Structure 1
Amino acid sequence: MFAVPKPQQNYLLAALPAQALERLLPHLEPVELPLGKVLYESGGALRHVYFPTDAIVSLLYVMENGASAEISVVGNEGLIGVAVFMGGESTPSRAVVQSAGHALRLPGQQLKDEFNRHEEMLLLMLRYTQALITQMAQTAVCNRHHSIDQQLCRWLLLSLDRLPGNELTMTQELIANMLGVRREGVTDAAGKLQRLGVIEYSRGHIKILDRARLEELSCECYAVVRRETERLLPYFPLRRDS
């Protein structure tokens, strides 16, 4: 048995108008999200949306040859499955659990009904979607123009913002798949951060020791995404601890 996640643990659910949340509550189903679980595949119909509470989910684009790269991460600030209320019903990306935890699952039709019914909820969801698009666009730029070292710092910071503590469980192979780079590049970048005393890494376990230094070593992409997230999602308390 796992601890049942609560709607208040997802900041987007907590920010919904009280009447809208009350109507959704009977339909929210607690689910466990183990590491590596695929929530949906590219091109598949989206029948549910997921509101993570203490898990992180990566959205990946997968090429025909199997190569992949992450385009965004979603945690307790949002939801998985924006295509449901944007009218697409499917998406070319794959959603994979990056950090194990829990979520609340909701039938897509329930969300669409509420989205069309409540103007305040519609605005909130659209602002979240704009923040997600900003993250996707900045990730594309970062992957093209910045070093693996900088990309790893950005990725760690985005993940850290969506977790309650300073530790992540993630192998170098999985990080390489997320960033779309060779595993050796991630090994080298992680080794540099460890020698600088920024992280402690051992057997897939990453502990952030110096967040301030991690931000200094990251490219401007993290700051761009952070500013836009703070502007669009004032309900999401981005971390400033070290």
Structure 2
Amino acid sequence: MLALPPATLARLTPEMELIQTESGAVIDHVNGLIQHLYFVNRGIVSMVKVMRDGRSVEVGAIGVEGITDSNALFGVDVAITETMVQVPGSALKISRTFLSRELERDRDLRRMLERYWRFAFGQLAQTAACNRLHTLEERCCRWLLTSHDSALADTFPLTHEFLATMLGTTRSSVSLTAKVLHRAGYIDYVRGIITIVDRPGLEETSCECYAETTTEMNRLFGPETQPGG
């Protein structure tokens, strides 16, 4: 949102509704009609693929300054994945129909959202490779770093069960990994609340995917890419 030009923000703001997001809340169901999009102010919203046997895994995450279901603005009006809140926070809700109309009249808005769609697609590819090639400990560190960025706080709610769903593994495996990270002094974990204690340690242990995603975000949305920049 903050990357958008002031004139664009002035037109969009009256059409937006600030909502609080809660862990586990489903924003869109797969194959359901997308009626609203959400600009995330704080927290994490996940794109989750659910298999026939009920198992699920996160295939993409939408953090602070991201937008849910960006593909809906370019001709796809039904959800491709389950979209659910992973880390609670807040978001700005806006009508997909209204935002689609604005794309037709506002070149800067369209350019920014096309960039974000590129970023979201690249993140899907990065996550697919990450899930296949990197260890659970590396992937867990990546996820914690991403969540830390978007929670805008060192402490945020998180259960082992929910983390297992996001990482596509078992609760027991997540518990063992969390114990390793706790013993290393990277995190504290008490009754579903996690605290990031040593961020540099998490960054060192994480796979390359966190740094790759951060670099791509800065490349696409850094100050030099903004209108008039």
TM-score by length of 1: 0.89
Return the offset for 1:146: 1.0
Secondary structure class of the residue paired with 1:116: helix
Cα distance in 1 for residues equivalent to 2:65 and 2:2: 10
Please tell me the residue identity of whatever aligns with 1:125: L
Secondary structure class of the residue paired with 2:131: helix
Cα distance in 2 for residues equivalent to 1:22 and 1:150: 42
Which of the residues 7, 11, 17 maps onto 1:29? 17
Which of the residues 168, 173, 176 maps onto 1:180? 168
Contact kept in structure 1, 2:187 and 2:194, CA below 8 Å: yes
Cα distance in 2 for residues equivalent to 1:71 and 1:86: 20
Q: Does structure 1 residue 145 correspond to structure 2 residue 114?
A: no
1:189 corresponds to which residue? Answer: 177
The residue correspondences of 1:1-242 to structure 2 (distance < 5 A) are: 13-234=1-222
Return the offset for 1:49: 0.4
Please tell me the residue identity of whatever aligns with 1:161: D
Contact kept in structure 2, 1:167 and 1:207, CA below 8 Å: yes
Contact kept in structure 2, 1:73 and 1:159, CA below 8 Å: no
Cα distance in 2 for residues equivalent to 1:230 and 1:69: 26
Return the offset for 1:83: 2.3
Secondary structure class of the residue paired with 2:153: coil
Q: How many residues align?
A: 223
Return the offset for 1:108: 0.5
RMSD: 1.2
Cα distance in 1 for residues equivalent to 2:109 and 2:164: 37
Give the gaps of 5 or more residues in structure 2.
Answer: 224-229
Cα distance in 1 for residues equivalent to 2:85 and 2:156: 13
Contact kept in structure 2, 1:153 and 1:215, CA below 8 Å: yes
Give the gaps of 5 or more residues in structure 1.
Answer: 1-12, 236-242
Identity %: 38
Runs of 4+ in structure 1 off by over 4 angstroms are none
Secondary structure class of the residue paired with 1:55: strand
